Structure 1
Amino acid sequence: MTYSWKIQLFAGLSDRFGSPVIYIETETPSMTVAALKQELAGKFPEQADLVRISFVACNQTYASDEFVIQASDELAVLPPVSGGEPEKNEMAPDCESADGRYVITKHPITSDEVLAKVIVPEHGAAIAFVGTTREWTMGQRTVRLEYEAYAPMAVRTMEQIGMELSERWPGTQTAISHRIGVVDIAETSVVIAVSSPHRDACYEASRYAIERLKQIVPIWKKEIWEDGSEWKGHQLGSPWNPIEPISN
């Protein structure tokens, strides 16, 4: 008996493999994440190096190499940083958490809209981090950015960030909205709103939230220049490990 495995691919990986989804067959219904990577590297040797440095998500949660996965699981391979051609896949629809505080959307977002979700009477401080598309980076002119997300997992990991903030800075409230699709120069791509009883916690929590978002939320951007393009992932240096927390 053989078992069919469906594996989702994102950003540069889908470009490299030529499809947003690949299928493999094995004689066993389960294996470790490390074994899956070996299976993929064997079937697609030209992409073996990229597969080795990517992470696997199982049921919308990052899985370590020792974690045992099943053929019936929802699986995805997530690249850290990779190059690619213009994406041909349709972007995922808007996706948000049950309480509406964590959002992935193709529509424009504003800081006031996101801040309104965290301003409460018992808090005396609120801050919004707003990320926008920069035109020039190291002498190279960006024409636009294109964002892609593993939307349901992105929302789950943004919720995780909110929980981490409330544990580190008790009473803190968080809301995050992130754009996908095309984001033109000077347009807003992400807003992180944080409120707390006191301003010191607000500043610290806001900084932690944006660094954590870069580390664990499965969102990728493609920088489109006048003479080419490139997918950008976490940009936090090497090695990339979204499982490890950020130290204080």
Structure 2
Amino acid sequence: MHVSIRLFAGLAEVIGSSTLTFHAHESPLTAGKLKELLSASYPDAAPQIKVSLVAVDREYAPDDTEIAESSEVALIPPVSGGEPEAAAGETADGLFSITAHPLKAELLLEKVQDVNHGASLLFVGTTREMTGDQQTTSLHYEAYVPMALKKLQEIGLEIQERWQAHCAIAHRIGLVGIKEASVVIAVSAPHRDTCYEASRYAIEALKVSVPVWKKDIRDSGSQWLGKDPQAEESSSYKQYS
């Protein structure tokens, strides 16, 4: 069967395309077998394929997940290079967005405020100039937008169910300069203690499950930042300040 695969960051760069139609004779075809076949067909990309996660229909897929010809398949690399995805998006309720435009924290906060909530918080992640003795000039973000929005919605739903809190999240893609916001998280809750807990949960869950990549750009060069691909079972491998 023929499988359409979306590729990101350095994986797309090595293979030479952001999309790939791959013909597989195996039936059933599993996520693990697909990685094996792709590694054999694209040996130059094999090291990155090995540490990438497979997403099937916008969900992280274990190796034994079966893939149908109609499945939406993507390879999620841990540390990579490449260009940011041109598309951006927003959920129907306006609470979650991926955008190339500057983020407006106050507008996001308005979306979660509630007359019955006595606490609200804004978390703003910004580009930091110095990390140790290394100087950053800007950051470059890329996202798998449809899946990122889906995962952001799941975070919001979890926060609503666990803390009876409202949550909205906006994330930048493309070039983000020093002191500019790359992510804004707005949370409101009936009480301040649960508001703090829900806000902390949101950023930690975002780092684990939302497929976004970050490139540190310096005068001396650039480097894609990430974590050990074995550190999390399902991770988008990105870091925040």
1:95 matches 2:93: no
Of residues 66-75 and 27-36 in structure 1, the stretch that sits farther from structure 2 once superposed is 27-36
Q: Deviations over 1:149-194 (max 9, x none)?
A: 111110000001111112221x111000001111111111110111
Structure 1 runs, 4 residues or longer, greater than 6 Å off: none
- 1:196/1:202 contact within 8 Å kept: yes
Sequence identity percentage: 47
Alpha-carbon distance in 2 for matches of 1:5, 1:93: 22
Structure 2 counterpart of 1:246: none
Deviations 1:122-149 (A, max 9, x none): 1000001000111111211111111111
- When structure 1 is superposed on structure 2, of 155-164 and 27-36 the one drifting more is 27-36
Confirm or deny that 1:114 pairs with 2:105: no
Please list, as runs of the form range in 1=range in 2, the aligned pairs for 1:17-32 lying within 5 A after superposition: 17-28=15-26, 30-32=28-30
Q: For 1:17 and 1:52, locate their aligned partners in 2 and report how far apart those are by CA, in whole Å.
A: 14
Does the aligned pair in 2 maintain the 1:80–1:240 contact within 8 Å?
A: no
Residue in 2 that maps onto 1:144 = 138
1:1-248 correspondence runs (5 A): 3-28=1-26, 30-82=28-80, 84=81, 87=83, 91-169=85-163, 171-233=164-226, 235=227, 238-242=230-234
Amino acid at match of 2:234: P
CA distance in 1, matches of 2:12, 2:224: 11
Distance 1:238 1:33 in 2: 17
CA distance in structure 1 between the partners assigned to 2:99 and 2:122 by the alignment: 18
Number of equivalent positions:
235
The gaps in structure 2 that reach 5 residues or longer are 236-241
- State the AA in 1 paired with 2:73: L
Q: What is the identity, as a one-letter code, of the residue corresponding to 1:242? A: S
Provide the TM-score with structure 2 as the length reference: 0.92
Q: Does the 8 Å contact 2:78/2:229 carry over to 1?
A: no
What do the CA deviations read for 1:8-48 (whole angstroms, capped 9, x no partner)? 11122212222212222122464111111111111122322
Tell me if structure 2 keeps the 8 A contact 1:6–1:24: yes
TM-score by length of 1: 0.89
Deviations 1:93-139 (A, max 9, x none): 33011101000011111210111110010100000100011111121
Amino acid paired to 1:102: F
Q: Provide the rounded CA distance (Å) in 2 between the counterparts of 1:141 and 1:237.
A: 26
Q: Distance in 1 between matches of 2:17 and 2:221?
A: 21
Contact 1:92 1:151 in 2 (8 A): no
Gap runs ≥5 in structure 1: 244-248
RMSD: 1.7
